[in-house]
Amino acid sequence: MGTDEQLKLLKCVSDKTRLEILHLLKKGERCVYDIVNETKLEQSLVSHHLREMRKCKIVNTRREGKKIFYRITDNSIIKFLDEVKMLSRKFCD
């Protein structure tokens, strides 16, 4: 994997709103309505960030009736988020 692909992933998760959404999704899949209620963010903002994270393939969807549920695509993303949290405590405090 080249540096361009690595940068693409890092850029995709280096947004406060996206990190907040990802930390919610670590607990399990959610629909947009649930994410909006839990984060108190605007629906359009949440939808925008979810769309961008889908482009990066770090979240995917499942439809149930009219609702679309979002989830993290791979457990390695969860491990990555946990590692970032640990490293930020170590180096950024």
Query: Closest by alpha carbon to 10, among 70, 65, 77?
Result: 77
Question: What's 81's domain CATH number?
Answer: 1.10.10.10
Give all strands (DSSP E) within the chain, no chain letters: 30-31, 59-64, 67-72
pLDDT mean values, one per 10 residues, the chain (93 residues): 88 95 97 96 97 96 96 96 94 85
Q: Classify residue 53: in a domain, yes or no.
A: yes
Domain of 39 in residue numbering reads as 8-92
pLDDT at residue 93 in the model = 73
| CB half-sphere exposure, 91, CA atoms < 13 A | 6
